[in-house]
Structure formats: C-alpha cells, structure tokens
C-alpha cells in the first residue's frame, strides 16, 4: 500500500530547502550534514529522508529550482513587446531582484554546483547556457555591429553575468542601495559606460 502524502508535505519540503540553502551558503555544502539540516528544520534525520534521499539531492533541488525560476523570468522579459534597451533594463532588474530575494540559493549555485553528480551538473549548465543565449539575443538587438563577430558574443554576455553574479557575494538588499537602484546602475554602466553614464 502506498504511503499517503501529508497535507503539509510541500510546505515542509520547501522549509527543508530554505534551511539547507541558508546552511550551505553560510558554512558550505561539504561541512553541512543532513543532521545539521534536520536540526535547523526542527525535525529528525530520518524524517528528512521522507523528502530527500541524500544531501546531493537537496543541493540539486535548490540549484535547479533557482536556475529554472531565473530562466523562466528572464526569457519572459526578453520577449516583451518593448524596445530592446527597455527589455535589457528589465532583464537586469529581474536578475537582481531574484538574486537579492534568493541570495542563499544564488550563493549555493555559485559555490557548490561542483558537488553535484556530473549528469545533474550538466543539466544546470545547459540551462545556464540558455540564459546566456537570451542575453546574447538582447545585446545583438541593441548593437548588432558590435556582436557581428561570433567570437565576441559570449564574452560580452559573460562580462555582464560576471558583474551580476559576483555582486551577490557582497550585496544585501537591506543596504543603502535598493535592488532596483542597483539594477539601474548596472544597466547604465554596461550600456553607456562609467564616463558617459547618467547614473540617475
């Protein structure tokens, strides 16, 4: 007879992912145990195994859900019926908001993806590649002349992603600059440069 799923199954599963993300982001995947996660959730280790069979499975759930959410949001923004520069601005804002609201998950994706099994890691890398393609499409619309050389398309996209991704090793949304203002400054800097940017 199959086990009946509890009414609060999804809520408890999400709590496990939230607590695990905070632990992985704070102390690292390798030094966090399933017992640590269970304690943070106020549950037993055996109870955790009703939801996840291993710590690696927890890590994959955190990183895949974060990446899938990011891809869904960014690809939707990129197809809005708006001028390319406006869509680019919204692309950056969406990325910043998601990373700020899910900072633990973002840091885990940056630091701990290497601990996933190769096939799971490849799935995430392919999805990240699709996000890069979305951005390249926007940049080609904004300045097709610059991106007419195939060999510079990915470097230009990765320059922006490098700025965005590493920002969240130090940025917290409760600081003096809001996520929206940060996104505006990143957009202005990337499109117009520091010397000629308006930074309004």
Q: Mean pLDDT per segment of 10 residues, for the chain of length 200 residues? A: 62 93 94 94 87 94 95 95 96 92 92 94 94 95 90 92 87 86 92 74
For residue 22, the number of C-alpha atoms closer than 13 Å in the C-beta half-sphere is 12
The pLDDT, as a whole number, for residue 1 is 39
The pLDDT, as a whole number, for residue 32 is 95
If phi > 0 it is left, if psi is from -120 to 50 it is alpha, else beta; for residue 193 that is left
DSSP 27: H
The pLDDT, as a whole number, for residue 197 is 61
> Does domain 54-196 bear CATH number 1.10.357.10?
yes
Cα–Cα distance for residue pair 199/190, rounded to 1 Å: 11
DSSP 164: H
What stretch of H or E contains 148? none
Rg (CA), the chain: 19
The pLDDT, as a whole number, for residue 165 is 87
Cα–Cα distance for residue pair 120/180, rounded to 1 Å: 33
């Amino acid at each position: 007879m199959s086990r009946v799923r509890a009414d609060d199954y999804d809520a408890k599963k999400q709590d496990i992912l939230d607590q695990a993300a905070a632990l992985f982001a704070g102390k690292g995947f390798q030094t966090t145990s399933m017992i640590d996660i269970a304690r943070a959730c106020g549950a037993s280790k055996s109870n955790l195994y009703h939801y996840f069979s291993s710590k690696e499975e927890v890590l994959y759930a955190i990183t895949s859900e974060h990446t899938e959410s990011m891809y869904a949001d960014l690809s939707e923004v990129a197809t809005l019926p708006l001028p390319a520069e406006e869509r680019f601005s919204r692309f950056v804002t969406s990325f910043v908001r998601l990373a700020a609201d899910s900072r633990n998950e973002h840091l885990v994706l940056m630091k701990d993806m290497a601990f996933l099994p190769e096939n799971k890691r490849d799935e995430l890398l392919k999805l990240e590649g699709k996000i890069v393609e979305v951005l390249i499409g926007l940049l080609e619309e904004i300045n097709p002349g610059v991106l007419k050389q195939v060999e510079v398309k990915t470097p230009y996209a990765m320059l922006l992603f490098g700025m965005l991704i590493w920002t969240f090793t130090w940025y917290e949304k409760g600081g003096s600059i809001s996520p929206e203002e940060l996104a505006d400054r990143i957009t202005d800097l990337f499109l117009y440069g520091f010397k000629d940017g308006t930074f309004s």
